[in-house]
Amino acid sequence: MEPREKILAMLKAMIDRLVSPSDVISSTGLPRYEVLAAFHVFEALGIVKRVYSRGNYRLYQLTEAGRRLLEILESGAEIRIGFVPMGSEGVAEAEA
């Protein structure tokens, strides 16, 4: 399975529900180490947000950015990543 397909499978497993990495592993059949690594990256990039944490157990939810990424991947379109600085309120600043 290609990396793009793996990301797509993981994001699809998260649509409209709270998930743990174990849920995604069960849904996709992907190796545990790949899913756990992806969750760290997804969270850092704002693709998922952690909504519950107790000990090592965590639940995540797909963000609007994650849903948009899923739409783009499903369409087969090429992805271009841009960087927009966030203001102090967590809102993207207007481009100059």
| Dist CA 84 CA 20 (whole Å) | 29
| Dist CA 93 CA 87 (whole Å) | 6
Give the per-residue pLDDT at 96.
Answer: 41
The residue type of 13 is A
Rg (CA), the chain: 14
Structural domains in the chain, CATH included, are: 3-75 (1.10.10.10)
Give Cα 70 distance to the centre of its chain.
9
**pTM of the prediction?**
0.82
Task: For 13, list phi and psi in degrees, rounded to 5.
Answer: -70, -15
Per-residue pLDDT in tens (0 to 9) along the chain, 96 residues: 899 999 999 999 999 999 999 999 999 999 999 999 999 999 999 999 999 999 999 999 999 999 999 999 999 998 887 877 776 655 555 544
Cβ atoms within 10 Å of 77's Cβ, excluding its own? 9
